[in-house]
Amino acid sequence: MAGNTFGTVFRLSTFGESHGDALGGMVDGCPAGLIIDLEFIQRELNRRKPGQSKITTQRQEQDNVKFLSGIFEGRSTGHPIGFIVENNNHKPTDYEHIKDSFRPSHADFTYQEKYGVRDYRGGGRSSARETVCRIVGGAIAKLYLQTFDISINAYVSQVANIKTNKTYKELDLSKIETSMVRCPDDEISSQMIELIETIKKEGDTVGGIVSCVIKGTPIGLGEPVFDKLQSELAKAMLSINAAKGFEYGDGFNSIYKKGSELNDIFIATTDMEKRIMTQSNHSGGIQGGISNGEDIYFNVAFKPVATIMKEQKSVDRFGNTIVIKGKGRHDPCVLPRAVPIVESMAALVMADFLLKSKTSKI
Amino acid sequence: MAGNTFGTVFRLSTFGESHGDALGGMVDGCPAGLIIDLEFIQRELNRRKPGQSKITTQRQEQDNVKFLSGIFEGRSTGHPIGFIVENNNHKPTDYEHIKDSFRPSHADFTYQEKYGVRDYRGGGRSSARETVCRIVGGAIAKLYLQTFDISINAYVSQVANIKTNKTYKELDLSKIETSMVRCPDDEISSQMIELIETIKKEGDTVGGIVSCVIKGTPIGLGEPVFDKLQSELAKAMLSINAAKGFEYGDGFNSIYKKGSELNDIFIATTDMEKRIMTQSNHSGGIQGGISNGEDIYFNVAFKPVATIMKEQKSVDRFGNTIVIKGKGRHDPCVLPRAVPIVESMAALVMADFLLKSKTSKI
Amino acid sequence: MAGNTFGTVFRLSTFGESHGDALGGMVDGCPAGLIIDLEFIQRELNRRKPGQSKITTQRQEQDNVKFLSGIFEGRSTGHPIGFIVENNNHKPTDYEHIKDSFRPSHADFTYQEKYGVRDYRGGGRSSARETVCRIVGGAIAKLYLQTFDISINAYVSQVANIKTNKTYKELDLSKIETSMVRCPDDEISSQMIELIETIKKEGDTVGGIVSCVIKGTPIGLGEPVFDKLQSELAKAMLSINAAKGFEYGDGFNSIYKKGSELNDIFIATTDMEKRIMTQSNHSGGIQGGISNGEDIYFNVAFKPVATIMKEQKSVDRFGNTIVIKGKGRHDPCVLPRAVPIVESMAALVMADFLLKSKTSKI
Amino acid sequence: MAGNTFGTVFRLSTFGESHGDALGGMVDGCPAGLIIDLEFIQRELNRRKPGQSKITTQRQEQDNVKFLSGIFEGRSTGHPIGFIVENNNHKPTDYEHIKDSFRPSHADFTYQEKYGVRDYRGGGRSSARETVCRIVGGAIAKLYLQTFDISINAYVSQVANIKTNKTYKELDLSKIETSMVRCPDDEISSQMIELIETIKKEGDTVGGIVSCVIKGTPIGLGEPVFDKLQSELAKAMLSINAAKGFEYGDGFNSIYKKGSELNDIFIATTDMEKRIMTQSNHSGGIQGGISNGEDIYFNVAFKPVATIMKEQKSVDRFGNTIVIKGKGRHDPCVLPRAVPIVESMAALVMADFLLKSKTSKI
Q: What is the mean pLDDT of residues C290-306?
A: 97
Look at residues B130, B115, B95, B128 and name the one whose alpha carbon lies nearest to residue B14: B130
For residue D89, what pLDDT band results from cuts at 50, 70 and 90? low
Q: What is the mean pLDDT of residues A197-211?
A: 96
For residue D271, being part of any structural domain is answered with no
Answer whether C199 touches A (CB < 8 Å): no
Q: How far is D5 from A13, CA to CA, in rounded Å? A: 10
- Size (chain B), residues: 362
For residue A154, being part of any structural domain is answered with yes
Q: How far does A273 lie from chain B, in Å, by closest CA?
A: 9
Residue A92 pLDDT: 57
Which chains have 3 or more CB–CB distances shorter than 8 Å to chain D?
A, B, C
Phi-psi region of C29 (alpha: psi -120 to 50; beta: other; left: phi over 0): left
Three-state DSSP class for D140? Answer: helix
Its sign, for the CA torsion B5, B7, B9, B14, is: negative
Q: How far is C181 from C175, CA to CA, in rounded Å? A: 11
At A114-165, the pLDDT tens digits run 999 999 988 899 999 999 999 999 999 999 999 999 999 999 999 999 999 9
Which are the contacts of D291, defined by CB distance < 8 A and separation ≥ 6? C110, D217, D218, D219, D220, D221, D222, D229, D285, D353
- Size (chain C), residues: 362
Give the structural domain span for B66: 5-249+284-356
Angle, nearest 10°, between helix axes A335-356 and A38-48? 140
Question: In a mutagenesis test of the D interface, which of A26, A71, A86, A144 is the best target, namely the one with the most D β-carbons within 10 Å?
Answer: A26
Contacts with A32 from chain C: Cβ below 8 Å: 360-362
Beta strands in A232-284 (DSSP E): 243-248, 266-268, 276-278
Residue D153 pLDDT: 98
Domains: count for chain D: 1
Three-state DSSP class for B287? Answer: strand
Q: Do A361 and C79 touch (CB under 8 A)?
A: no
At B103-148, the pLDDT tens digits run 999 999 999 999 999 999 888 999 999 999 999 999 999 999 999 9
Please check the confidence at residue A94 and state whether its pLDDT lies above 70: no
Contacts with A205 from chain B: Cβ below 8 Å: 258-260
Please check the confidence at residue B92 and state whether its pLDDT lies above 80: no
| CATH number for the domain that contains residue C56 | 3.60.150.10
For residue A273, being part of any structural domain is answered with no
Instruction: Write down the mean pLDDT value for chain A.
Output: 94
Give the residue on D whose Cα is nearest the Cα of A112. D77
For residue B361, being part of any structural domain is answered with no
Residue C90 pLDDT: 58
- Among the ranges given (B97-101, B288-292, B345-349), the one the predictor scored with the smallest mean pLDDT: B97-101
- Of D28, D70, D125, which is closest to A79 when you measure between CB atoms? D125
Helix locations, chain A, DSSP H: 38-48, 108-115, 131-146, 186-202, 229-238, 259-262, 335-356
- Of B32, B33, B359, which is closest to D31 when you measure between CB atoms? B359
Q: Do D25 and A26 touch (CB under 8 A)?
A: yes
Q: What is the mean pLDDT of residues B272-291?
A: 96
What DSSP designation does C286 have? E
For residue B270, being part of any structural domain is answered with no
Residue D94 pLDDT: 65
For residue C317, being part of any structural domain is answered with yes
Q: How far does C41 lie from chain D, in Å, by closest CA?
A: 21
* Of A229 and B92, the one with more pLDDT: A229
pLDDT above 70: percentage of residues in chain B: 98
Give the residue on D whose Cα is nearest the Cα of C355. D1
Look at residues D221, D21, D15 and name the one whose alpha carbon lies nearest to residue D136: D15
For residue B279, being part of any structural domain is answered with no
Q: What is the CA radius of gyration of chain B?
A: 21
Report yes or no: A172 and A183 within 8 Å, Cβ to Cβ.
no
Q: How far is B241 from B187, CA to CA, in rounded Å? A: 28
Strands B22-28 and B65-67: unpaired
Look at residues C3, C5, C2, C44 and name the one whose alpha carbon lies nearest to residue C28: C5
Look at residues D205, D193, D188, D168 and name the one whose alpha carbon lies nearest to residue D332: D205
Helix locations, D6-107, DSSP H: 38-48
Its sign, for the CA torsion C182, C186, C190, C192, is: negative
Report yes or no: C152 and C45 within 8 Å, Cβ to Cβ.
no
For residue C68, what pLDDT band results from cuts at 50, 70 and 90? very high
Report yes or no: C70 and C27 within 8 Å, Cβ to Cβ.
yes
Residue C91 pLDDT: 60
**What phi and psi, each to the nearest 5 degrees, are found at residue B208?**
170, -160
Look at residues B79, B69, B82, B73 and name the one whose alpha carbon lies nearest to residue B35: B73
Look at residues A151, A97, C133, A20 and name the one whose alpha carbon lies nearest to residue D77: A20
- Size (chain A), residues: 362
Answer whether A81 touches C (CB < 8 Å): no
For residue D25, which amino acid is it?
A: G
Q: Do A15 and D118 touch (CB under 8 A)?
A: no
Q: How far is A285 from A168, CA to CA, in rounded Å? A: 14
Give the residue on B whose Cα is nearest the Cα of C73. B119
Q: How far does C167 lie from chain D, in Å, by closest CA?
A: 18
Report yes or no: B160 and B205 within 8 Å, Cβ to Cβ.
no
Which are the contacts of B182, defined by CB distance < 8 A and separation ≥ 6? B154, B155, B156, B176, B335, B336, B339
For residue C221, being part of any structural domain is answered with yes
Answer whether C35 touches B (CB < 8 Å): no
Report yes or no: C162 and C195 within 8 Å, Cβ to Cβ.
yes
Residue D287 pLDDT: 98
Please check the confidence at residue C92 and state whether its pLDDT lies above 60: no
At B219-273, the pLDDT tens digits run 999 999 999 999 999 999 999 999 999 999 999 999 999 999 999 999 999 888 8
The 10 Å Cβ neighbour count of residue C151 is 16
Q: Do B362 and D31 touch (CB under 8 A)?
A: yes
Its sign, for the CA torsion D307, D312, D314, D317, is: positive
Interface of A with C in 202-231 (CB under 8 A): 224
For residue B23, what pLDDT band results from cuts at 50, 70 and 90? very high
Look at residues C332, C343, C331 and name the one whose alpha carbon lies nearest to residue C211: C343
Q: How far does A242 lie from chain C, in Å, by closest CA?
A: 31
Residue C325 pLDDT: 83
